[in-house]
Structure 1
């Protein structure tokens, strides 16, 4: 059986305001549910411009994927020439609406850019502050502590994994890989189940190797395998300029008889038999910088 779990990363103020409602509408029409991870704190997207100088391939990726038109000029200035707006505090009703519509919700981060760019250099206390701020605001808005988190840019450290264990989360989705697993990172085994993303994201493949906005869904259908497929989408892309493409992908997958589940449902199904696997920061095609990648234990 083909099973697809949709993971929605919500990175920005505009993505929360505009992209999330659009994705809810698309999924409601299709009769499916997903797992949404919300950035809870300030939108400092403009500060990502530093990656031009620190991450090989970042500028080419921005140009290849049409990021300025997808994310908008205002978003790309937040935290620099424009003040960084608060995301979740500005749209608590959208977070609540997402859950009311039947979707699973979790914490993506407090400050997306700060985590993504600085995590390896952060002390345990600073990592804890980032997770705690996000979790506390999530609880204020939703009335419950988050049961799941997903690291921005699939960026992890020993400190972040240790703190996720301390939070007693149901599972996390911080990695790229092939099947659910319990991570062994820098020689230490962690207790929180990982549900890795198994397909490349739109921004990794769009404009590369002949993949265009017109044929990208052909590519995704070619990635479909028996068992669990985890597809990460972004509120800013699939909920924005590529929303029609995403709606088409859902319809094509449904025609193939795909079963759609949330990541929480995947965790419940795979938890008992999930093996240990290595996890380390490494490179992936189409992505600037390092990401957490699942690997078999040697």
Structure 2
């Protein structure tokens, strides 16, 4: 029987998450000898503009209140890009990206402007989608001295144009969606050649406050949810590296005690000999306001 493997994917969305959450996660992971794949937002932190989702995304306000987002993310973050100027993220903390890689973790691109991609990608012309990714890729190479091998879409938001841009970048793989296992995406009848490794488990912000799950019990939820073979868990620097840090440490302790093997997404990609073509579409999942990219049926 296959062993239980967890690929840890870390989304770094904000200025504060880069400054405070990533160093905390690096320290905690080093204690347990765990490596992860960190995806950094490279450009401005416009988190305050996400407040528009209250009016455009059903369930967004309920989710914000259920997960106590204002206290988790902090008042300044909630005002960036509106009442406060949007600070630049990666260029403010280049040493954080370099230190993450120096410690043996995999480093990739999350985005240039998280809110812009998440909220407006379906309406962006292809050249603006390419500009968003190109700006992030250029700064990534400037800071780390090499090109990124992987990207992960903010809010699991994709389009045929964004998948085409990824193909043009010659990436090793991406992690843009939700699903059950690695695949090659087919979207709106077009087949793309960049391997996708989807998140298989719900994120903390999707399940906290639901069905009695709290920060004190979420580690038990995850242990009970693991399947034999590959599991992909997305965590956030702002939550697991901040507001629910103690919960994540307990989870790492329980992984170690149970013999769960933690790997990077790059290690997963390197071990894949073949993967099916599957439909990729935007749809809804429990606990998240708005639509996300979902792995569908096998094509062909």
TM-score (norm: length of structure 1) = 0.99
Q: Which residue number in structure 1 is paired with residue 240 of structure 2? A: 238
Deviations 1:25-80 (A, max 9, x none): 00000001000000000000000000000000000000000101100000000000
Distance apart, 1:297 and its partner CA? 2.7
TM superposition outliers: structure 1 runs of 4+ over 6 Å:
none
Pairing 1:87-166 to 2, within 5 Å after superposition: 87-166=89-168
Deviations 1:61-104 (A, max 9, x none): 00000101100000000000000000000000000000001000
Question: Structure 1 stretches of 5 or more lacking a match?
Answer: none
For residue 176 of structure 2, the aligned residue among 174, 177, 180 is 174
Aligned length: 297
Give the Cα separation in 2 of the matches to 1:102 and 1:69: 31
For residue 253 of structure 2, the aligned residue among 237, 251, 271 is 251
Give the Cα separation in 2 of the matches to 1:65 and 1:216: 13
1:62 is paired with a residue of what secondary structure? Answer: helix
Q: Which residue number in structure 2 is paired with residue 279 of structure 1? A: 280
Q: Which residue number in structure 1 is paired with residue 10 of structure 2? A: 8
Question: Structure 2 stretches of 5 or more lacking a match?
Answer: none
Q: Which residue number in structure 1 is paired with residue 27 of structure 2? A: 25
Give the Cα separation in 2 of the matches to 1:43 and 1:154: 18
Q: Which residue number in structure 1 is paired with residue 37 of structure 2? A: 35
Q: Which residue number in structure 2 is paired with residue 296 of structure 1? A: 297
Give the Cα separation in 2 of the matches to 1:269 and 1:60: 40
C-alpha RMSD over aligned residues:
0.6
For residue 262 of structure 1, the aligned residue among 247, 261, 264 is 264
2:235 is paired with a residue of what secondary structure? Answer: strand
Give the Cα separation in 1 of the matches to 2:211 and 2:4: 26
Q: Which residue number in structure 2 is paired with residue 44 of structure 1? A: 46
Distance apart, 1:210 and its partner CA? 1.1
Give the Cα separation in 1 of the matches to 2:224 and 2:185: 28
1:196 is paired with a residue of what secondary structure? Answer: coil
TM-score (norm: length of structure 2) = 0.98
